[in-house]
Amino acid sequence: MRITDTSDLWWKTAVVYCLDVETFLDWNDDGIGDFAGLAQRLDYLSELGVTCLWLMPFYPTPNRDDGYDITDFYAVDPRLGHLGDLVEVIRTAQDRGMRVIADLVTNHTSDKHPWFVKSRSSRTSPYRDFYVWRDEPPADQAAPVFPDQEDSNWEYDAKTEQYYQHIFYKHQPDLNITNPAVRDEIAKMMGFWLELGLSGFRVDAVPFMLETEAVIGGDKALPDPHEYLRSLRSFLGRRSGEGVLLGEVNLPREDQQRFFGGDDGDELTMQFDFISMQKMYLSLARQDAGPLVEALLSRPAGSSDSQWANFVRNHDELTLDKLSDEERDEVFAAFGPEKRMQVYGRGLVRRLPPMLEGDPRRVRMVYSLLFSLPGTPVLFYGEEIGMGENLEQKGRLAVRTPMQWNSGKNGGFSDVAPSRLASAVVEGGFGPAHVNVEDQRRDPDSLLVFIQTLVRHYRNAPEFGWGTFAVLEQPHSAIFAHSLTWEDRRIVAVHNFSAETTEVPLTLEIEGESLLLDLISGDQVDLPSTGKTNITLDGYGYRWLRVVRAGDTHRY
């Protein structure tokens, strides 16, 4: 069997794990998670099979937007530790086979950042052009990203009698990417963190960062914003031959192709597949695989140097903005019928297990799906144990609750009084008393052990990250069957979106008699030379089937 050396493209078959240091583990018992606590849990992440650790913002911040309002791009928030603590985490992670990436937030700063303080000091400040200023807001400005918080993308500054742009919150003024000095600073940021050991970045709000024509206009706009994105990718390649840019691009398919760099693949390395994620929830609501299949088939081909990142949910709201109004209402009705479960009129602030009413069959089917889709799986901390949300917390904070390590006080996150925690723990049936790492590590039937099993088989099957994707036609609307072929290896994955046991017909092109080896259960299904067979799937069932020649002693 020929296996290609793919080490430089490690992200093709990575297992990415996103966490917020502030809510992961509090080691000094001040109510706030820290790098010292994270260092104590790197062995846990290694056991889980994580190969890439994605750190949400850890920079100094007033913390009005969960760390995305930054006052210093070259430092660590002292509440979390210091640079030495971070470097030790990176070194220890690398010793355990994990790379580390971090959020690159280049769209805006905090209004407390020294650049903005100087920018608003006078119209002649050298830092004035670090931000976007106008005498009057444009008449046709876009709708605010957070309509429940802001009614405009522009804020008046009384001292200098001009308006500054803020696509997000008014306390997050937008950087002026058209200014070469700003672009130089962004390169310096990237170079700084790469030198400290990072293996790349998750790039925040990429389309907003590149949108200069509508805001700046005229000669000041970047002639080709994507040329700037190509320059960032090129810079990363020069500084780190294996670095990754994982982009947040929630746009229609034709636009996503542009952010990859088209056939050249010279812009973003990876993009989150927001469209397939949203269609997956529609498929779950309808118990019909059709919407997800449609979304996956609509993916642009792109370059072999590009990759999709698959996810069940992320750290923001579970956005449904790419669904039609009718489709979104279906998902709301199924998984978030209460207003407090919804946000911005477009998303949900819930985690998967509560949405599926704790049904272990459906929860496990979804995670089997996540790891078997073509692309790279991304987990949000706590997903591996089935954490829920705290709907008493405002907006997105409902899912940014402390990690649940044991059934004790504050879920083992911190020993302080609950009132001193950075965020309140989950309550009820998905809280620490019922859902925690300690109990699940001892239970061979737990979700944690199941996720570890999926990770192990995923990492042993390069087809998932590298393979050519094909949908296998089905007479049953609830069944999603697909194959992934890479070199001389092929896997067939089959998932049942309904509660009904179903006989699933499969037809594969093969040479001679073969068999299908179930990677998860170890069962075998004979596959005659016709390539036709039937398998039985329980309600919400799933199977990962490797195609091997009959009698092959190397079939694993």
Q: Residue 36 is encoded by which pair of tokens?
A: 């010292």
Of 20, 22, 26, 248, the catalytic one is 248
Torsion of CA 427, 429, 435, 439, to 10 degrees: 120
Q: How far is CA 3 from the centre of its chain?
A: 29
Check if the beta carbon of residue 502 is closer than 8 Å to that of residue 494: no
Catalytic residue among 204, 211, 330, 384: 204
In the residue annotation, 20 being an active-site residue is answered as no
The kind and range of the H/E element at 257 are: helix 253-260
Kindly tell me the sign of the dihedral angle through the C-alpha atoms of 318, 323, 326, 327: negative
In terms of Cβ atoms closer than 10 Å to its own Cβ (0-12, 13-18, 19+), residue 155 is: middle
How many CB atoms sit inside 10 A of residue 184's CB?
10
Say if CB 398 and CB 349 are below 8 A apart: yes
**E strand or H helix that includes residue 495:** strand 489-496
Return all residues near 266 (Cβ < 8 A) that are at least 6 apart.
Answer: 230, 233, 234, 303, 305
Select from 198, 245, 8, 244 the least CA-distant residue to 93.
Answer: 198
Residue (of 479, 458, 485) closest to 542 by Cα position? 479
- CA-CA distance, 237 to 209, in Å (whole number)? 21
Report in angstroms the alpha-carbon separations of 128 from 105, 154, 173, 213, 442.
20, 16, 12, 19, 58
Alpha helices in 69-178 (DSSP H): 83-95, 114-119
- Output phi, psi for 105, to 5 deg: -105, 95
CA–CA distance, 317 with 56 (Å, rounded to integer): 15
**What string of DSSP letters covers 279-321?**
HHHHHHHHT-SHHHHHHHHTS----TT-EEEEES--SS-EE-T
**Entry field: residues in the chain:** 556
Residue 516 burial (CB count, 10 A) = 23
* 204 is an active site residue: yes
Residues annotated as catalytic (active site), given as ranges: 204, 248
